[in-house]
Amino acid sequence: MLIQAAAMANLGTETAFDVLARAQALAAQGRDIINLGIGQPDFRTPDHIVEAGVKALRDGHHGYTPAGGIPALRQAVAADLADRQGVTVDPDDVVIMPGGKVTMWFAILMFGQPGAEILYPNPGFPIYESAIRFTGATPVPVRLTEENGFAFSADEVLAQITPRTRLLIINSPANPTGGVVPKAELDRLAAGLERFPHVAVLSDEIYSRILYDGQEHSCFLSYPALRDRVILLDGWSKTYAMTGWRLGWSVWPKALREAATRLAVNSHSCVNASAQYAGIAALQGPQDAVASMCAAFAERRRVVVDSLNRLPGVRCVEPGGAFYAFPNISGTGLSSKELQTRLLDDCGVATIAGTSFGAMGEGFLRLSYANSVENIERAVARMAEALPELV
Ligand code: PLP
């Protein structure tokens, strides 16, 4: 009999991939499935970025690159952070990753072990809790509530810090809620963290460019007093519709960048070279595609929020960023999981139960509006038809 390592039993998953598989299986049986489950832009990667990737392959960039990424790309990331976010970083502290998810794993592996506590948002991206549990560390949920627009209160976060806290994970704009933490609250958190020099911060800013109503993104690297312990996670996946390229960037405090690179050498060696060249083109080329994708998401947000709020037993706060709506469905009388199953099986609409993002997501459903207005309208119309029978 094969005996897996005990830690494997602690590893969770990302339900979005299971729902995607089920939706695809139903579609293969001829069912008309509308997918509001998976969180990826439905746009193509802009042509000039694709061309740069193809050119890199034609030019013979077929080999390993430095583990932390090609220097030109790390410089491009540093220049982009300076131009767009007003933060100065040393290109040597930038580590290119095969997606933002790997930055998350590396940060959690670096600090997680039995006895350590790691604070993470709940509801939040499910891999935080999965990775924390895998390391044997204790996951400490930072509760996000609808009343607060799914933004944390700095005081509540700070009150949860103990001498055993090793890492605090924050995520704004957030998955699955679309919540955006106001700059004033980030300022308060940063000021409060000065009292706890033993706590590192992983700031997941993968949705930094998908913000609505003219909001500006606040990068958590912008607090000089914390620069020796903030790890930045960002990347190309969501901003440039590049989820399948597997490309992300991270910025590490000087004292940690060698450890991050060593983890890279031990796991993936380096990110595939052509994707890295495409990444340079994305950062340095025209940004109009980013603006038009955001404008499309803004229009869809309006449609999805308005129509959800007309459904019986459902209410939905307006998300400030990302491309997710996180309606409260407790008025339907169904659990999140039951509603997710009924919507997919009975109505052909793929959504994700709030509980897939942590226990505190019970009573909520995540709908990704990275889909056309037409499909969103069709999906909500199907829900409107089915819900009165369920409520
Ligand atoms: N962080 C959050 C909050 C996400 O929602 C996702 C992807 O859905 C990631 C990180 C991972 O992004 P990537 O595809 O670049 O690994």
**Residue 329: exposed, middle, or buried by beta-carbon count in 10 A (0-12, 13-18, 19+)?**
buried
Contacts (Cβ under 8 Å, ≥6 apart) of 292: none
* Distance separating alpha carbons of residues 182 and 170, to the nearest angstrom: 13
The domain segmentation of the chain, as residue ranges, is 6-44+288-390, 63-284
ipTM of the modeled complex:
0.99
CB 212 within 8 Å of CB 321? yes
User: Both ends of the chain: CA-CA distance in Å?
Assistant: 48
Predicted local distance difference test score (pLDDT) of residue 391: 65
**Digits of tens for pLDDT over the chain (391 positions)?**
999 999 999 999 888 888 889 999 999 999 999 999 988 899 999 999 999 999 999 999 999 999 999 999 999 999 999 999 999 999 999 999 999 999 999 999 999 999 999 999 999 999 999 999 999 999 999 999 999 999 999 999 999 999 999 999 999 999 999 999 999 999 999 999 999 999 999 999 999 999 999 999 999 999 999 999 999 999 999 999 999 999 999 999 999 999 999 999 999 999 999 999 999 999 999 999 999 999 999 999 999 999 999 999 999 999 999 999 999 999 999 999 999 999 999 999 999 999 999 999 999 999 999 999 999 999 999 999 888 776 6
Distance CA(350)–CA(284), nearest Å, equals 36
Residues pairing with 235 in the sheet: 248
H-helix segments, the chain:
15-28, 47-58, 71-80, 100-111, 126-135, 154-159, 183-193, 254-267, 273-284, 288-309, 336-347, 373-390
Q: Which two tokens stand for residue 159?
A: 């009150």
**Cα gap 49→247, rounded to integer Å:** 13
Residue 42 DSSP label: S
Q: Model-level pTM?
A: 0.97
d(CA 307, CA 131): 36
pLDDT at position 204: 98
Residue with tokens 């469905």: 329
Q: What pLDDT shows up at residue 20?
A: 87
Q: Is the C-beta atom of 206 inside 6 A of ligand 1? A: yes
Which of 97, 122, 125 has most ligand 1 atoms within 8 Å of its beta carbon, as the pocket-test mutant? 125
Q: Which CATH architecture has domain 6-44+288-390?
A: Alpha-Beta Complex (3.90)
Ligand 1 pocket, 247 CB below 6 A?
Answer: no
Domain 63-284, CATH = 3.40.640.10
39 ligand 1 Cβ < 6 A = yes
Nearest to 204 by CA among 103, 96, 119, 112: 103
CA 371, distance to chain mean position in Å, is 17
Specify the pairing of strand 349-350 against strand 352-353: unpaired
pLDDT computed for residue 17 by the predictor: 84
CA 70, CA 62: separation in Å to the nearest integer? Answer: 13
Q: What pLDDT is stored for residue 390 in this prediction?
A: 67
Q: How far apart are CA 63 and CA 10, in angstroms?
A: 36
> Rounded to whole angstroms, what are the CA distances from 356 to 15, 123, 281, 305, 385?
6, 8, 35, 21, 25
Q: Which of 102, 120, 122, 206 to mutate to test the pocket of ligand 1 (most atoms within 8 A of CB)?
A: 206
Candidates 96, 101, 203: which one to mutate for ligand 1, based on the most atoms within 8 Å of Cβ?
101
Of ligand 1's listed atoms, the one at least distance from the Cα of 102 is 16
CA 43 to CA 330: how far, in whole Å? Answer: 33
Phi, psi of 311 (to 5 degrees): -80, 145
